[in-house]
Chain A
Amino acid sequence: MPAAIDAVAALKARWAGVTDRPSLDHPAVNVPASDLLGVLRSLKEEHGFDMLTDVAGVDWAAGARPRFTVVYHVFSTSRHEYVRVAADCADDAAPELPSAAGLWPGADWHEREAFDMFGIRFAGHPDLRRILMWDGYPHFPLRKDFPLAGIETVLPDAEVVAETGTGAIAAPMAGGPFVAAQGGTNMGDAEPRAKDESWSERRPKPNS
């Protein structure tokens, strides 16, 4: 029997809160936030899933309950199998989960990314800062209520602004994020490739 299926069965027997998660490929479990670290540690130390390959935040849309889930993929470098572990964040307004950075130092950056993109906090993380966006950026871009077009924001370098007296000017986008050509036809209308059509040249971007 494959190690991943064994491991999942053992986890379910040990923690009452661990349940099967529908999956099209690898064995997957839902884990309550309180058992998350225990489950991950058990996978790592007892079942040989020694590599944390991925940590992905998921936003199930504003109003969904639970709204935020974090999906971990662990991999066994000896048995070559994956297990997917998903944990829901209890609080939709201030989502939080325990940090796995103590188990895998590689989780550090993955969790920073989930925090940066979704605003999910990881308790016990050594240095929870934004990683892809700049420090002080006010939004969480991968949340479903964040528009594809972005939100006008003051750009980061206050020092430069103070020194030069000019604020940072956003690049002109003339119609949408996927405009192919400027002038003549508004390609944003002619070619509706972006699903987010809540704004165009005639309707301005939503402001924060």
Chain B
Amino acid sequence: MPAEHAFPDSAAKNASGEIEAERMSISMGPSHPSTHGVLRLQMELDGEVVRKAEPVIGYLHRGDEKIAENMTYNQFVPYTDRLDYLAPLANNMAYAIAVEKLAKLEIPPRCQAIRVITAEMARISAHLLGLGAFGIDVGAWTVFLYSFTEREKLYKLFEELTGARFTTSYSRIGGVTRDVPEGWTGRVNAFCEQFLPRLEETLSLLTRSRIFVDRTAGIGVISKEDAIAYGLTGPNLRASGVPLDLRKDKPYSGYEQYDFDVPVGTKGDGYDRYLVRGEEMRQSARIIRQAVARFPGGSWQAEGARRIVAPPKDRVLTSMEELIQNFMIVTEGPQMPAGEVYFEAENPKGALGFFIVSKGGGVPWRLKIRAPSFCNLSILPKVCVGAMMADIVSILGSLDFVMGECDR
């Protein structure tokens, strides 16, 4: 072997006599299959052990908060689809409730039930994707195919309800865009019927799989204290043993009427996060079935929403008052009172919060989006240190984040 191709002495020892490899700097992402979007991790490796991990985010920053300051409240609904784009229906609902708190609107029970059903369907859909992607990350490809089959059925139902499979934009301030189609709740129920056995089948591919357990148990352990200190929410927080679920602890949209359990982990590792998500899907199906069973009648739009939502077209064309109102809503936007509100909803990824500062008028003065994925990722520099390089993929998969929401 020529001298210039000789490898460096692999047994070079440091002062204390330990063999120490040269630290290697590795950039993982922003375009890497396991970073689920455009997360970049700048890592320093000592052999295969990660000594430092610095997440670099912002590749998907679109300035949603700036955009929100420049449009009326209802116009911003489609932008909320694109936060956690795996659960747009849940985002729509969280945003709508935040603005409704500002506008002091009473939401009728039928609308609340519709929102609960759609949010829980979104949760199932988001968790199914998270599960499938997590499986792929650690080498279990089959799960992805199973979970996508179920998601496809959900997408059919979403399409029937909202007209869109992916970016639903279903909520409006004070209500939803339209009532549920005839027979839709029955089909939702039928979905739940067949979903539960399919879910067991899907989970059984992972729960006792030797490879999956080896790659997740004890990997990426987050203690209870750390989880709270870093502001983790959602399944990631609960897997660390904190029984916090805003649906239970700070109920909104009528969640207090439904009977469901909050799964809590004990170890805070990747396997616990997987188990918590699996159980959450069962509970979501349980909530949906209760909501469908006692699906209330009545209006699906708040009484006070008349001043916010554009009136029906035939009335606009025939009645002076509706014409003026339509004109005002289109040009000025619905008028909101001044004040500050903060609302968090329990979304699939965690607590999605909206902080709205209003000075009155049709546009928010400031709209801050508290993105659960942003907070969940902020713990990476801590949790990745000391892990093996190959486990980073497992840790990222177990945290189940969405960059669209993290970068906003």
Which A residues are closer than 8 A to B by beta carbons?
Answer: 21-26, 28, 50-54, 56, 58-59, 71, 73, 77, 80, 82, 84, 104-106, 108-109, 113, 117, 130-134, 141-142, 146, 148, 177, 193-196
Contacts of B104 in A (CB 8 A): 24
One of B25-33, B57-65, B198-206, B255-263 at the interface = B57-65
Contacts of A134 in B (CB 8 A): 58
Contact A82 B342 (CB under 8 A): yes
Contacts of B249 in A (CB 8 A): 80
**Chain B positions 6-56 with a Cβ under 8 Å from a chain A Cβ:** none
Known interface pairs A108-B378, A131-B58; A53-B351 also in contact (CB < 8 Å): yes
Minimum CB–CB distance for B338 against chain A, Å: 9
Contacts of A77 in B (CB 8 A): 228, 242, 244
For B356, give the chain A residue with the smallest CB separation.
Answer: A24
**Chain B positions 226-249 with a Cβ under 8 Å from a chain A Cβ:** 226, 228-231, 233, 242, 244, 249
Contacts of B63 in A (CB 8 A): 141
Contact A73 B229 (CB under 8 A): no
Q: How many A-B residue pairs have CB under 8 A?
A: 109
Contacts of A58 in B (CB 8 A): 357, 365-366
How far, in whole Å, are A21 and B337 apart by their CA atoms in the complex? 16
**Residue from the list B58, B65, B342 in contact with A54, Cβ < 8 A:** B342
Contacts of A71 in B (CB 8 A): 340, 355, 357, 368
B363 at the interface (CB under 8 A from A): yes
Contacts of A28 in B (CB 8 A): 340
For A177, give the chain B residue with the smallest CB separation.
Answer: B67
Contact A22 B355 (CB under 8 A): no
Contact B230 A54 (CB under 8 A): no
With A51-B231, A54-B353, A80-B244 known, 9 other A-B pairs at CB within 8 A are: A24-B102, A52-B231, A53-B370, A82-B342, A84-B340, A106-B379, A132-B61, A146-B66, A148-B67
Minimum CB–CB distance for A120 against chain B, Å: 13
Kindly name the residue among B58, B231, B408 whose own CB sees the greatest number of chain A CB atoms within 10 A. Answer: B231
Contact B229 A109 (CB under 8 A): no
B142 at the interface (CB under 8 A from A): no
In the complex, how many residues of chain B place their beta carbon closer than 8 angstroms to a beta carbon of chain A? 46
Contacts of B226 in A (CB 8 A): 105
Minimum CB–CB distance for B316 against chain A, Å: 18
5 contacts between A and B (CB under 8 A): A28-B340, A71-B368, A131-B57, A133-B61, A194-B70
For B358, give the chain A residue with the smallest CB separation.
Answer: A24
Minimum CB–CB distance for A84 against chain B, Å: 7
For A52, give the chain B residue with the smallest CB separation.
Answer: B231
B375 at the interface (CB under 8 A from A): yes
**Residue from the list A21, A25, A56, A108 in contact with B101, Cβ < 8 A:** A25
Contact B231 A53 (CB under 8 A): yes
For A81, give the chain B residue with the smallest CB separation.
Answer: B250
How far, in whole Å, are A23 and B338 apart by their CA atoms in the complex? 10
For A196, give the chain B residue with the smallest CB separation.
Answer: B70
Contact B339 A54 (CB under 8 A): no
How far, in whole Å, are A26 and B65 apart by their CA atoms in the complex? 22
Known interface pairs A22-B340, A109-B374; A73-B230 also in contact (CB < 8 Å): no
**Chain B positions 305-343 with a Cβ under 8 Å from a chain A Cβ:** 337, 339-343
How far, in whole Å, are A67 and B67 apart by their CA atoms in the complex? 20
Contact B382 A105 (CB under 8 A): yes
Contact A25 B341 (CB under 8 A): yes
Known interface pairs A73-B355, A106-B229, A148-B66; A25-B342 also in contact (CB < 8 Å): yes
How far, in whole Å, are A25 and B71 apart by their CA atoms in the complex? 24
Minimum CB–CB distance for B33 against chain A, Å: 23
**Residue from the list B337, B365, B378 in contact with A106, Cβ < 8 A:** B378
B344 at the interface (CB under 8 A from A): yes
For B237, give the chain A residue with the smallest CB separation.
Answer: A77
How far, in whole Å, are A16 and B378 apart by their CA atoms in the complex? 35
Minimum CB–CB distance for B103 against chain A, Å: 10
Minimum CB–CB distance for B108 against chain A, Å: 21
How far, in whole Å, are A71 and B367 apart by their CA atoms in the complex? 12
**5 closest cross-chain pairs (CB), A and B:** A56-B368, A106-B231, A132-B58, A24-B339, A106-B230
For B366, give the chain A residue with the smallest CB separation.
Answer: A58
Minimum CB–CB distance for B279 against chain A, Å: 20
Minimum CB–CB distance for A146 against chain B, Å: 8
B75 at the interface (CB under 8 A from A): yes
How far, in whole Å, are A84 and B242 apart by their CA atoms in the complex? 22
